[in-house]
Structure 1
Amino acid sequence: MFHDRIPDVFEKLPVPRSRREVWAALLPRRRRAAFRAGLSAATALADLVGILGIAALVDVAYYLSLHGGLPAVSTSGSFELAALVALFVLLTNLVREDYSVETLLTDRPHLTRVAAVWVGAWAIALVIGFATKTTQDYSRLVSLGIFVTGLPGLILVRAAMLGVVRRAVTPASASINRVHLVGYEEDITRFYANNDAEALGLRVIGTSYLRRIDPLGDDTSRRAQLSEDLDLAVSVVRFLRPDDVFVLVPWSEASDIERCIDAFLRVPAALHLRPGSVMDRFPDLKLARVGRLSGINIGRRPLSIGELFLKRCLDVSLALVALVLLAPLFLVVAVLIRLDSPGPVFFRQKRYGFNQQPFGVFKFRSMRTDGDTVFRQATRNDNRITPIGALLRRSNIDELPQLLNVLRGEMSLVGPRPHALAHDRSFENRIALYARRHNVMPGITGWAQVNGLRGETLTDLDMERRVQHDLHYIDNWSVWLDIRIMVMTVFSPRAYRNAR
């Protein structure tokens, strides 16, 4: 067995002259945890100050331009509105752990996430204001000014804090995690080949290589050899005093892992087991407890409780506004449908929703009622489509009654489009992960539809491409993505492709 006690970076340091200097160089700072907590708190405080500061500036500018003086605190409601929005922003970021140092050091799309939280917080504030009939207490011009200027201001604040955190947490800083690696030579070599320690926010201060045990040797000698290696590794870890010890022994070596656990539980460091190559597929791997049962969680619910709340607030608020504004259009379309062909104005058909629960989807009727009880997908130049129905389908207006499904909690504004039951049963057996589309609520529009993947599916490849886009939406959901899809649904030419 051999060890890399001190990496190359430490060879450049001056040689310490006393035991105290040795410990000062190698021991973690006592205030490390407090320093990292301070960085997280500073980022949250920067968001709060940024939102309230922008609100104050907008309020002052408004009163100076219209009244020639500063606003009185007692008469200005902008501070209360900004405080409410700031509360939702901070709570959402805390739930998503966006203020943790580990999250701030990752390559996540931080600025996009800030924009999504900002829009979601305002949507919630509007819903609360509408429900409590307090929207008239705030100046609409000031509120609009805070919303428009607050987003770029908040993005600049977050970008600045990201720079501060990443400059503060460097391989040479006392706040970085100091780790020691233990494993067979090929496993440690693979770790270095596949990971950049500095990019991961780690400083590797030592490695201990275990010798491969001769498979032909007797059990006693094999156990003695591993015990010798582990005893020496424990001694090195006791001297270096790392924050974390990573055991890189493969999961297939269950008995060796058990011996490593027993050995390193004796040292004052956090102990970690490196997942195997199969588990590397899952970036959010973590230990979870269900009741009194522990397990490795490789997949979570598609949306957390906080994300579900944000999405539902956005759905309800926008659906209510849309139904009120589109009421005249609904009336005109209903009259045209009744004049065009006999039959009901609305068409309702069973679809599978969240968790494959069936529900009736509302649509404006675009086909003749010929009494055919067998479902047939609409095709190009389908003679069942009425002239008015063709116009409704090309313009996506036939989907608008599904706003009622949104209010009933059966659908969302954005999500995988629900297919007929016959299609669901057929494709579920032929396309991998097709049923995963039902892990979220279906939507009136979706990522597949705004990319032109709609209409007739002639081959399994057509449906596979649609499913791939739906799964991309599930895995990358954000409020900002929902808003982007809704805008593309109205203005993007691709959203109207293949509509018939």
Structure 2
Amino acid sequence: MLVDLLLINIVVFFVFEKVHQSLQFHAYISIFWLITSVITNYYKVYRFTNVYRLLKLTVVQALFFILGFFAYFGIFKEGEIVNTQFKTLVITLGSLALIKVAFFILQKKIRQSGSNFKRVIFFEKDDTAKKMIKLFQNKSSLGYSYLGFFSSKISEDTNYLGNEEDFYGYLKVEKVDEVYATLSHLKKSQLKKLTKYSSLHNITLKLIPDSKEFYSKSRNVEFYDETLKVLSVKKLPFDLPENKIIKRAFDIIFSSFVCLFIISWLYPILWVLIKLESKGPAIFKQEREGFNGEEFVCYKFRSMRMNNQADKIHATKNDSRVTKIGSFLRKTSLDEIPQFFNVLLGSMSVVGPRPHLESLAIEYQKDVDNYLERHAVKPGITGLAQISGYRGEIKKKSDIKNRVRLDIFYIENWSFMLDVKIVVSTVLSIFKGDENAY
């Protein structure tokens, strides 16, 4: 991607007419290329991708690029004569196509030489799995190193590595990149366990279907050749680096805006009001559980009188510890605003599961089996659970179970627009108020 962007800008700089060049045009053409490449899946080229698929991606991306290129002049330079458009497009698209093919061929050659291999094992084995193993062994250019297979049936095959119990022990000791599992031999409980284990240990899980296999939205169909079909278990949104970049960029831009245009004048006012009503610092610091369960210092405007129970007990309705200004801050969620500094520092995100106290988190883990999955992302100032009515005091087990359920749904179904929706809903709730905020 970086090579392509560099090439596009070099060609435009040296070939295109200087009179029509500008920082605006370079930025436009670069951003347009990035956006369209995501839409067309231009960079999603895998080991099993064939030449025809590669050419299709190149042609579709080229058509988008041509439309975007001419659209710029239709919008910003209407009526102007541009003499080198055709020449610039031919050189740019020709160079990009050559680089695409060259990278593709180079990777094949590197794999044929014995480098850049994916280490794979099979869980159970049927006729389709045997064909795949044969394909991996015969076509070294695909770049797969077959280590062996596991099965509940004892086999005299030299590649037999053991049963299901041996399988998980093997994964703990040996480096494995991909696991291919035969669906016709898997029970639901085995599939569930395998999917969870693969996700937690960053192992790619591929499912080999039978002819009647149901294809759900959580699986991609991949063709390794004309006859071999595999179901790839889709990665979670935050497993993709581009989504992490988008989310972090949003966090920095949004929190910078809040710090500059809201906290800059709101902080002095609230500092005075908090200090006038009760003794103690205006900013309350508290250790909370964050990304991967690591603790961090969470900032809030102090809403209670100084007490030794703040790190042990959540605020309850009509809590005597809460001050008058504190009550207002909690109802409007303004007490959370200093956490935008946490976002800028990188310990929190604008949207995500709310961070809990370690002492309370230990109790929650006893009630909710998949509680720790919340730690897969940074905690947030607001979240899906909060806008869905699950905030404030936890009165019964179902409260924390529902919060965790919504937190995990958010992690598994994240999108940029979902973050925007949650932020908008949070802002609206500040003006409407929330009966659970006290």
Interval containing the TM-score (normalised by the shorter chain): 0.5 to 0.7
Matched, 1:369 2:306: yes
Matched, 1:334 2:271: yes
Q: Which residue of 1 aligns with 2:327?
A: 390
CA distance in 2 between partners of 1:80 and 1:415 (Å): 35
Point out where structure 1 has 5 or more consecutive residues left out of the alignment.
1-71, 103-141, 143-182, 185-246, 254-270, 288-295
Q: Which residue of 1 aligns with 2:218?
A: 283
Q: Which residue of 2 aligns with 1:486?
A: 423
Q: Which residue of 2 aligns with 1:84?
A: 30
Deviation at 1:350, TM superposition (A): 1.0
Matched, 1:436 2:382: no
Q: How far does the alpha carbon of each residue in 1:214-256 deviate from its partner, in whole angstroms, 9 at most, with x for none?
A: xxxxxxxxxxxxxxxxxxxxxxxxxxxxxxxxx9882269xxx
Preserved CA contact (<8 Å) 2:207 2:233: no
Distance verdict in 2 for CA 1:373–1:366, change over 3 Å = closer
CA distance in 2 between partners of 1:332 and 1:388 (Å): 12
Q: Which residue of 2 aligns with 1:317?
A: 253
1:451 to 388, 394, 397: 388
CA distance in 2 between partners of 1:307 and 1:74 (Å): 34
Distance verdict in 2 for CA 1:384–1:305, change over 3 Å = same
CA distance in 2 between partners of 1:449 and 1:98 (Å): 36
3-state DSSP of counterpart to 2:296: strand
Larger Rg: 1
Deviation at 1:323, TM superposition (A): 0.3
Q: How far does the alpha carbon of each residue in 1:185-232 deviate from its partner, in whole angstroms, 9 at most, with x for none?
A: xxxxxxxxxxxxxxxxxxxxxxxxxxxxxxxxxxxxxxxxxxxxxxxx
Distance verdict in 2 for CA 1:249–1:310, change over 3 Å = closer
Distance verdict in 2 for CA 1:249–1:406, change over 3 Å = closer
1:343 is aligned with what amino acid?
G
3-state DSSP of counterpart to 2:437: coil
Preserved CA contact (<8 Å) 2:367 2:401: no
Distance verdict in 2 for CA 1:76–1:272, change over 3 Å = closer
Q: Which residue of 2 aligns with 1:347?
A: 284
Distance verdict in 2 for CA 1:445–1:342, change over 3 Å = same
CA distance in 2 between partners of 1:416 and 1:252 (Å): 33
2:246 is aligned with what amino acid?
L
Matched, 1:250 2:196: no
Distance verdict in 2 for CA 1:374–1:400, change over 3 Å = closer
Q: Which residue of 2 aligns with 1:122?
A: none
Q: How does 1:454-473 map to 2 (within 5 A)?
A: 454-473=391-410
Q: How far does the alpha carbon of each residue in 1:151-185 deviate from its partner, in whole angstroms, 9 at most, with x for none?
A: xxxxxxxxxxxxxxxxxxxxxxxxxxxxxxxx99x
Distance verdict in 2 for CA 1:405–1:494, change over 3 Å = same
Q: How far does the alpha carbon of each residue in 1:244-292 deviate from its partner, in whole angstroms, 9 at most, with x for none?
A: xxx9882269xxxxxxxxxxxxxxxxx98317999988924799xxxxx
RMSD between superposed Cα atoms in Å: 3.9
Distance verdict in 2 for CA 1:428–1:95, change over 3 Å = farther
Q: Which residue of 1 aligns with 2:337?
A: 400
3-state DSSP of counterpart to 2:407: helix
Deviation at 1:432, TM superposition (A): 2.3
Deviation at 1:468, TM superposition (A): 1.4
Distance verdict in 2 for CA 1:412–1:286, change over 3 Å = farther
Matched, 1:496 2:417: no
1:308 is aligned with what amino acid?
K
TM-score by structure 2 length? Answer: 0.53
Q: How far does the alpha carbon of each residue in 1:307-362 deviate from its partner, in whole angstroms, 9 at most, with x for none?
A: 00111011011111110001101111111111111000111111111110111110
Distance verdict in 2 for CA 1:248–1:381, change over 3 Å = closer
CA distance in 2 between partners of 1:333 and 1:86 (Å): 44
1:308 to 244, 263, 267: 244
1:307 is aligned with what amino acid?
N
CA distance in 2 between partners of 1:79 and 1:337 (Å): 51
CA distance in 2 between partners of 1:301 and 1:383 (Å): 44
CA distance in 1 between partners of 2:296 and 2:351 (Å): 17
Distance verdict in 2 for CA 1:250–1:317, change over 3 Å = same
CA distance in 2 between partners of 1:306 and 1:381 (Å): 45
Higher RCO, 1 vs 2 (CA within 8 Å, ≥6 residues apart): 1
Preserved CA contact (<8 Å) 1:393 1:499: yes
Matched, 1:421 2:361: no
Preserved CA contact (<8 Å) 2:287 2:295: yes
Q: How does 1:41-80 map to 2 (within 5 A)?
A: 74=20, 78-80=24-26
Point out where structure 2 has 5 or more consecutive residues left out of the alignment.
1-17, 50-75, 77-125, 128-180, 188-205, 223-230
CA distance in 1 between partners of 2:305 and 2:265 (Å): 24
CA distance in 2 between partners of 1:494 and 1:434 (Å): 30
Distance verdict in 2 for CA 1:76–1:420, change over 3 Å = same
2:402 is aligned with what amino acid?
R
Deviation at 1:485, TM superposition (A): 0.8
Deviation at 1:452, TM superposition (A): 1.5
Preserved CA contact (<8 Å) 1:452 1:497: no
Distance verdict in 2 for CA 1:427–1:462, change over 3 Å = same
Q: How far does the alpha carbon of each residue in 1:442-480 deviate from its partner, in whole angstroms, 9 at most, with x for none?
A: 100001111121001100011111111111111110111
3-state DSSP of counterpart to 1:457: coil
Q: Which residue of 1 aligns with 2:108?
A: none
CA distance in 2 between partners of 1:96 and 1:332 (Å): 51
Distance verdict in 2 for CA 1:404–1:299, change over 3 Å = same
2:258 is aligned with what amino acid?
A
Preserved CA contact (<8 Å) 1:454 1:497: no
Preserved CA contact (<8 Å) 1:282 1:298: no
CA distance in 2 between partners of 1:452 and 1:332 (Å): 30
CA distance in 1 between partners of 2:387 and 2:356 (Å): 16
TM-score by structure 1 length? Answer: 0.47
CA distance in 1 between partners of 2:348 and 2:211 (Å): 39
Q: How far does the alpha carbon of each residue in 1:396-444 deviate from its partner, in whole angstroms, 9 at most, with x for none?
A: 1000100111111100000011111122111112112111111111100
Work out the number of aligned pairs and report it.
263
